[in-house]
Amino acid sequence: MAVQMAPSILSADFARLADEAAAVAAVADWLHVDVMDNHFVPNLTIGLPVVESLLKHTGLPLDCHLMITEPDRWAPAYAEAGARNVTVHAEALQSPVRTLRLIRAAGARAGLGINPVTAVEPYEDLLAEIDMLLLMTVEPGFGGQSFLDLVLPKLRRARALVQRHGGSVWLQVDGGVSEDTIERCAEAGADVFVAGSAVYGADDPAAAVQALREQAERATARSAWHG
Ligand code: DX5
Ligand code: ZN
């Protein structure tokens, strides 16, 4: 599957979200939207009303990453609103199968997110219920943090698991993805790349997306996992 690029608006200007989405619309695959509730993570961002507004102003598919304590209660509404992907965190889910199925039933793709030290193996049986596995490569909550190399062995194990199950689940990395780290991620098995500060901190966000994509594509082509 091809490399997917998902710039994160967490590092964009929240007062100009439509313009910030437009800045990457021609080059991004999805727009990554970080929903934080100040409980699951120590930060507060945006929620459903902003997602609904943003949907009216961008043609980019929205990739909603819910860092909230009650994903079972809130996630289906993001799918019903029109988000293309809705990712919920394993650490917060009470009823993973039911919630992932509700997301899909509402017409979105279902993503399962796991924090840096959450093991991936317990979720092998959920692979048939998801379209994407999100491996956090920083502790969730803030943009601009340093990439955690300690996640790379888990990323390789996750790639092996996904390949064993047919290879159709996307593997997304989120946190500290930049020109310095994206090749390591692609080589280890990621095929969806979230980048916040590396995109919106650049003078030309669209050029930054393109440069990161090219790096990821080159690294994927030379990687062992990519058949
Ligand atoms: C962090 C968020 C990320 C964040 C990444 O908890 O989930 O999506 O925007 O930002 P960077 O790319 O700056 O690490
Ligand atoms: Zn995110």
Cα of 141 from ligand 1 centre, angstroms: 7
Burial 146-172 (b: 16+ CB within 10 A, else e): ebbeebbebbeebbebbeeeeeebbbb
Catalytic, 174? Answer: yes
The confidence score (pLDDT) of residue 128 equals 98
Catalytic, 34? Answer: yes
Q: Answer yes or no: is the C-beta of 202 below 6 A from any ligand 1 atom.
A: no
Q: Answer yes or no: is the C-beta of 145 below 6 A from any ligand 1 atom.
A: yes
pLDDT digits (tens, 9 = 90+) for 102-149: 999 999 999 999 999 999 999 999 999 999 999 999 999 999 999 999
Q: Residues 29, 34, 63, 191: which is the catalytic one?
A: 34
Q: Answer yes or no: is the C-beta of 62 below 6 A from any ligand 1 atom.
A: no
The confidence score (pLDDT) of residue 143 equals 98
Q: What is the pTM of this model?
A: 0.98
- For residue 84, the SS3 value is coil
**Separation CA 222–CA 187 (nearest Å):** 7
The minimum-distance atom of ligand 1 relative to the CA of 195 is 12
Do 82 and 55 form a contact (C-beta atoms < 8 A)?
Answer: yes
**Separation CA 225–CA 93 (nearest Å):** 30
Do 168 and 188 form a contact (C-beta atoms < 8 A)?
Answer: no
CA dihedral (38, 99, 191, 127) positive or negative: positive
Q: What is the mean pLDDT of residues 150-164?
A: 98
Q: Answer yes or no: is the C-beta of 115 below 6 A from any ligand 1 atom.
A: no
Torsion region of 63: left, alpha or beta (phi above 0 gives left; psi -120 to 50 gives alpha): beta
Res. 215 pLDDT band, cuts 50 70 90: very high
Do 123 and 171 form a contact (C-beta atoms < 8 A)?
Answer: no
**Separation CA 30–CA 177 (nearest Å):** 16
The minimum-distance atom of ligand 1 relative to the CA of 176 is 14
pLDDT digits (tens, 9 = 90+) for 11-29: 999 999 999 999 999 999 9
pLDDT digits (tens, 9 = 90+) for 173-202: 999 999 999 999 999 999 999 999 999 999
Cα of 32 from ligand 2 centre, angstroms: 7
